[in-house]
Structure 1
Amino acid sequence: MSCCEKSGDGKKEIEEFKRPGQKKVADDSIQMGRRSVGKNDTAQVSPCEIDEKVLIDPRLLFVGSKIGEGAHGKVYEGKYGEKIVAIKVLNSGDTPEDKATLKGRFIREVNMMCRVKHENLVKFIGACKDPIMVIATELLPGTSLKNYLNSIRPRKLDLRTTISFALDIARAMDCLHANGIIHRDLKPDNLLLTANQKNIKLIDFGLAREETVTEMMTAETGTYRWMAPELYSTVTLRRGEKKHYTNKVDVYSFGIVLWELLTNRMPFEGMSNLQAAYAAAFKQERPPLPEDAPPELVFVVQSCWVEDPNSRPSFSQIIRMLNAFLFTLPPPSPEQSPELSPEAEAVPTVATSCGEHDTSPSSSSRKRHKLSFIRQLFVPKKTTSNKGRE
């Protein structure tokens, strides 16, 4: 990958990034601050600037093989000093307008990533703004949730693993929302498993926004299958159309992801992205829930993807509901796989983490009690009107 800096006054030309272990990445004459960010660093920085404390020395950054590519840049495996890192190299744009837009997106992403820290958010290492825009984060050796689910299909996750993954995602999102950040692109592609495949971390703040500036943001956000209808529910689906929305767009996306964890299927199967958007926004369609899914989780999913954003729960409420359900599950059986439900390989009934659901009258009574308890944890706000609902 070529990347050149204008030469002059003895400055060297940057020809390309090198693999880890090779010598040169950036111009030796570029002077940038080393990263020195303490846990409680709260220096005020203009939203149009990057805190100098999070800038890293490009001379210590070595880039290896490409491991991913998106609409706004490429991701490489690399090293920063002795650390193995993921290096996101952002596109710089061709026109002055594109350059300004992409630079603004880069600054926004860096400022948000260095502000939030959570065990379920990918760890931010630092950034470079010259000669090119680069963001370095921890490198997770695990695969994406999307690839993982594809690899085990048609098998499903067991309930304990489903809830564990869902809680990791909800906690990450709760942290973002507590810091006034809307992710806007929550989907399995942006969720990475840790090396032991027991936990999930959220990545990619490229489309994230501050809540204070979302009143008239564009609908040019994440993939339509996971996007909340209010982001594009207009007469047309023109790219860049202005829309009002809140952080509840992330809650809708979470509902779709939770449905995927339960079913291990693609949402809106058989539809294109635009067909899925039309079905969700104009026909109020949602992916079909399995008839044998636990009613407690059905309630959570349906609460998240309800049409009225004000009627969706917050992530703190989602966490309480999921924990309430998790605590009712029996302990896992030693002979059962901790990750996969046996139901996809044997019989078409949902299995809990220690076997099939009990269908006795006493069990039905317990289920009703659990669902009633979970419903009490979330009472949606009443709205005076909702013109978009039937």
Structure 2
Amino acid sequence: MKRSVLPARSAAAEPWAADRSKLMIGKSFATGSDSRVYRGIYGRQAVAVKMIRAPERDDDKRRALEEQFNAEVTLLWRLRHPNVVQLVAAYREPPVYCVITEYMSRGTLRAYLHAREPYSLPPETVVRLALDVARGMEYIHAQGVVHRDLKSLNLLLDDGVRAKVADLGTSCLESHCGDKCSRMGTYRWMAPEMIGDKRCTRKVDVYSFGVVLWELTTGLLPFEDLSPVQAAYAVCVGNARPPISPSCPPAINSLIERCWSAKPAKRPEFSHIVSVLEIYDRCLRQGLPLLPQPLPSPLADFFKLRPFRKMMLLLSSFKV
């Protein structure tokens, strides 16, 4: 481990600003196109340190990376949930931007599933991990946020193999997402309306969750025989989906198919998904069979919303 060589700030303007004298950086364990992730210690806490270097000669990309950094740390700082990766601190020293999060020792869900191939997970583990993800996403949606890049690579596992939602760098407030999705996600998990650059709502995350749930039942990479672009074309033009596993309980397969429906309005809310998975979890613990659960009516979903969101939906229904 080496201590951060960047000077500590005397006064932090942002609540998430790191005290760099507390940061020790170890070995790198992951890399991206513009970033590298290191193990580290912040104070006495084990952390993951993501260092992002913006290209100095590409102004557009530099601005985009800075905007993504600002959006991610501002959002993560106010999110506090057992199934959302916690931001510990962050700092910017252009062209370097640093995001410090809790360390998730078991890595990504994708790596966990890949290590088990060709064996799939037992239904009890499928439901438990799916419930972790659904609870995290229910909380994120309750804050009015759309993730836009939910996938097994952005789901991390802790020592107890509990799943947490990570990497909200491409997320947005649903009220600010605009009329077009701008293809912010990853093709293999991307909803058809995102691929088609149509209006983006929180239901794009439900579609992606359906693909993640399929991964949990099969252990496989979605559309592994296709390139990402071919997968996007198959979904958007041919309404293709990964093949359902015949060995998976029909009730879970039914939930997958509801989540990745081509029509966003037919996809359930995460509050309903959590309720269904909690029923399945109890059934599996008691040795009872799993039965498909009915979808609630749109009115039932409406009354589950927080009062502010109810008011906004009512106001938006009136035309001036």
TM class by shorter-chain length?
Answer: 0.7 to 0.9
SS at match of 2:93: coil
Alignment partner, residue 188 of structure 2: 225
Change (3 A) 1:220 1:74: farther
> Where do residues 290-305 of structure 1 align in structure 2 (5 Å cutoff)?
290-305=245-260
> Where do residues 346-365 of structure 1 align in structure 2 (5 Å cutoff)?
none
Alignment partner, residue 152 of structure 1: 116
Q: Say yes or no: does 1:139 pair with 2:103.
A: yes
Alignment partner, residue 201 of structure 1: 164
Alpha-carbon distance in 2 for matches of 1:380, 1:69: 43
Normalised by the length of structure 1, the TM-score is 0.72
Larger-gyration structure (1/2): 1
Alignment partner, residue 98 of structure 1: 61
Q: Say yes or no: does 1:212 pair with 2:175.
A: yes
Alignment partner, residue 31 of structure 1: 10
The offset of 1:24, in angstroms, is 4.7
SS at match of 1:114: helix
Q: 2:224 aligns with which of 266, 269, 273?
A: 269
Q: How many residues align?
A: 297
Normalised by the length of structure 2, the TM-score is 0.87
Alpha-carbon distance in 2 for matches of 1:32, 1:259: 48
Alpha-carbon distance in 2 for matches of 1:218, 1:70: 23
Work out whether residues 224 and 274 of structure 1, in 8 Å CA contact, stay in contact via their aligned partners in 2. Answer: yes
Q: Say yes or no: does 1:107 pair with 2:87.
A: no
Alignment partner, residue 378 of structure 1: 296
Alpha-carbon distance in 2 for matches of 1:218, 1:313: 20
Matching residue's letter, 1:89: M
Work out whether residues 87 and 102 of structure 2, in 8 Å CA contact, stay in contact via their aligned partners in 1. Answer: yes
Matching residue's letter, 2:186: T
Change (3 A) 1:212 1:91: farther
The offset of 1:299, in angstroms, is 1.6
The offset of 1:218, in angstroms, is 4.9
Structure 1: gaps of 5 or more residues: 1-19, 34-50, 234-241, 332-353, 355-362, 382-390
Alignment partner, residue 62 of structure 1: 24
Change (3 A) 1:301 1:25: same
Alpha-carbon distance in 2 for matches of 1:104, 1:301: 34
Structure 2: gaps of 5 or more residues: 300-320
Work out whether residues 72 and 169 of structure 2, in 8 Å CA contact, stay in contact via their aligned partners in 1. Answer: yes
Q: 1:285 aligns with which of 240, 247, 259?
A: 240
Q: Say yes or no: does 1:192 pair with 2:156.
A: yes
Alignment partner, residue 306 of structure 2: none
State percent identity of aligned pairs. Answer: 35
SS at match of 1:157: coil
Change (3 A) 1:260 1:196: same
The offset of 1:330, in angstroms, is 4.8
Work out whether residues 146 and 188 of structure 1, in 8 Å CA contact, stay in contact via their aligned partners in 2. Answer: yes
The offset of 1:379, in angstroms, is 4.1
Alignment partner, residue 81 of structure 1: 43
Alpha-carbon distance in 1 for matches of 2:17, 2:178: 30
Alpha-carbon distance in 2 for matches of 1:172, 1:226: 18
Alpha-carbon distance in 1 for matches of 2:179, 2:90: 28
